[in-house]
């Protein structure tokens, strides 16, 4: 009898179990390898593409369903602890610093003097951790809709425990859209550290034109910044707006957004649509990307502004040295500038995109949220 292998699928954490066949021989790099391992995590990237990696003996550290999302914390052999929400990997212990440094620091470093930050989502605490490295900040508000996710991450993600207890952090459990709507406060930086827009998930309305135009933009101070992930295809437009010739401009409204995978085969899922949507609201749009090993893809972010940007590699490096408490492990000025160079395929897709993201006409990353859970 072989060992049972449990697979977790993007359309819910199914209990599908397969028996391991000890006679099965896999070819790895041309070498015969007898697979006697236990459990594997499997994520469906598309109908014909899956991404999987081995778990340690006690591979499933936690699995549950909150009011809004399905949650799992896995102990993997390659990537350490991995947080999975609605069947999509959110972060991995060994390389989450790449994602979160790219999400947080460029916008903060582009701002001349950031004092306040509002984080939409970010329940695991990593975005807050990175923001709190900035000595100029007086206040960081983290607003996540899911109390269970936040409580779970506070207990189990030890790397962020200091951030959760930081005196400058104000933790709010609420829908970010509702919280911004009722708030009388404006912010220098707004960060969208949201789950991917999956059908049935809680976040897709926060990627729409109406949200950006009617709710988010009015809550920014002059020269403010919004941050969120996006497809990596935004990059090709970077140098249209981000050059030393704009150094004379001292203020801008910046938006750095997260919208999903930005690889050459995946950027059309939602990236180009969200990029085009933001262009309808803001005059200048900048994108940059980085490869995230645990995501098995290139990931993208975008910044948007009503004024041209005013920073270069040297200025960013100076601000990192002056403003940040501690070391960054990934980002520096030269890396940020290079990350904003897009390939021809992505550039053309961005240029030719016509879709505008709305509540009635949304695009989704492959997979489903709790509303579409298969029991």
Could you tell me which of 94, 93, 104 has the C-alpha nearest to residue 157?
A: 93
Q: d(Cα 187, Cα 142) in Å, to the nearest integer?
A: 12
Q: d(Cα 234, Cα 284) in Å, to the nearest integer?
A: 12
Identified catalytic residue from 86, 144, 193, 231: 193
Q: Are 270 and 260 in contact (CB under 8 A)?
A: yes
Active site residue 256: no
Q: d(Cα 154, Cα 169) in Å, to the nearest integer?
A: 13
Spell out a b/e string for 319-343, using b for 16 or more CB atoms within 10 Å of the CB, else e: bbeebbeeeeeebebebbbebbebe
Spell out a b/e string for 61-96, using b for 16 or more CB atoms within 10 Å of the CB, else e: beeeebebbbbbbbbbeebebbbbbbbbbbbbbebb
Could you tell me which of 130, 97, 187, 160 has the C-alpha nearest to residue 324?
A: 130
- Please state the φ and ψ torsions of residue 36, each to the nearest 5 degrees: -110, 15
* DSSP assigned state of 186: -
Matching residue, tokens 């590699």: 313
Q: d(Cα 192, Cα 104) in Å, to the nearest integer?
A: 10
Could you tell me which of 278, 283, 236 has the C-alpha nearest to residue 256?
A: 278
* DSSP assigned state of 167: T
The helix (run of H) or strand (run of E) holding residue 116 is strand 116-121
Q: Are 111 and 119 in contact (CB under 8 A)?
A: no
Q: Mapping DSSP to helix (H, G, I), strand (E, B) and coil, where does residue 60 land?
A: strand
Could you tell me which of 127, 94, 113, 333 has the C-alpha nearest to residue 228?
A: 127
Residues with catalytic function: 193
């Amino acid at each position: 009898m072989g060992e049972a292998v449990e697979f977790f699928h993007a359309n819910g954490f199914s209990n599908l179990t397969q028996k391991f066949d000890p006679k099965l021989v896999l070819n790895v790099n041309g070498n015969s390898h007898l697979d006697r391992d236990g459990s594997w995590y499997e994520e469906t990237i598309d109908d014909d593409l899956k991404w999987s990696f081995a778990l340690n003996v006690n591979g499933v550290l936690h699995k549950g369903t909150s009011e809004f999302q399905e949650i799992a914390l896995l102990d993997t052999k390659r990537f350490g602890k991995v947080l999975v929400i609605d069947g999509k990997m959110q972060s991995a212990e060994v390389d989450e610093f790449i994602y979160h440094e790219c999400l947080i620091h460029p916008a903060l470093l582009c701002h001349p003097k950031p004092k306040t930050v509002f984080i939409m989502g970010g329940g695991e605490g990593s975005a807050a951790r990175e923001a709190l490295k900035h000595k100029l900040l007086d206040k960081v508000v983290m607003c996540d809709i899911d109390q269970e996710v936040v409580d779970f991450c506070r207990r189990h993600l030890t790397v962020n425990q200091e951030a959760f207890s930081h005196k400058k952090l104000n933790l709010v459990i609420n829908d970010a859209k509702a919280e911004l709507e009722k708030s009388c406060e404006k912010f220098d930086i707004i960060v969208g550290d949201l789950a991917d827009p999956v059908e049935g998930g809680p976040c897709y309305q926060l990627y729409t034109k109406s949200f950006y135009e009617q709710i988010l933009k009015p809550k920014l101070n002059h020269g403010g910044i919004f941050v969120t992930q996006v497809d990596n295809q935004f990059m090709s437009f970077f140098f249209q707006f981000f050059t030393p010739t704009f150094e004379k401009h001292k203020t801008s409204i910046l938006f750095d957004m997260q919208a999903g995978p930005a690889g050459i085969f995946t950027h059309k899922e939602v990236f180009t649509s969200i990029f085009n949507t933001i262009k309808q609201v803001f005059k200048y749009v900048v994108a940059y990307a980085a490869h995230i090993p645990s995501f098995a893809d290139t990931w993208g972010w975008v910044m948007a502004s009503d004024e041209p940007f005013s920073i270069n590699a040297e200025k960013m490096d100076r601000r990192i040295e002056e403003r940040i408490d501690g070391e960054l492990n990934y980002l520096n000025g030269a890396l940020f500038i290079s990350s904003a160079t897009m390939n021809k395929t992505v550039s053309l897709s961005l240029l030719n995109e016509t879709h505008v993201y709305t509540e009635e006409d949304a695009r989704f990353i492959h997979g489903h949220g709790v509303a579409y859970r298969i029991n």
